[in-house]
Amino acid sequence: MVILAGAFRSKVIAVVRRIPPGRVATYGDVAAAAGSSRASRAVGNIMRTCRSADVPCHRVIAAGGRLGGFGGNLQLKRELLRAEGILVTGSRVKEFTTRRWTRPAPRNKAT
């Protein structure tokens, strides 16, 4: 099972790296894009423990546009999102539906 967990973590990190600046995705969106639509809590745990500067964890938010965890530092998450032009009021992303990133269609692998 450890191998599967590590493989899922790698997929999650790869998905999060593709979220463009100025856009957000929910934990559920990321879980689905990583191949396990029911694993949003696992995505949250991965984001909470991720310390890689090249992974924009702040772009992953809770359902409905709520900011979610970010290791308890919501002020930092707000600031990072605002720096990318995303309006945040309280603990919610304004215009969530227009800021929400939907993953591109999977690429066809050359055979």
Q: What is d(CA 21, CA 49) in angstroms, rounded to the nearest whole number?
A: 21
Helix or strand or coil: residue 100?
Answer: strand
Residue with tokens 């593709």: 18
Question: Do residues 70 and 76 lie in contact, with contact meaning Cβ atoms separated by under 8 Å?
Answer: yes
Report which residue type is found at 16: V
Question: Do residues 72 and 40 lie in contact, with contact meaning Cβ atoms separated by under 8 Å?
Answer: no
The residue annotated as part of the active site, out of 12, 33, 42, 57, is: 57
Q: What is d(CA 45, CA 27) in angstroms, rounded to the nearest whole number?
A: 10
The question of whether 57 is a catalytic residue gets the answer: yes
Catalytic positions are 57
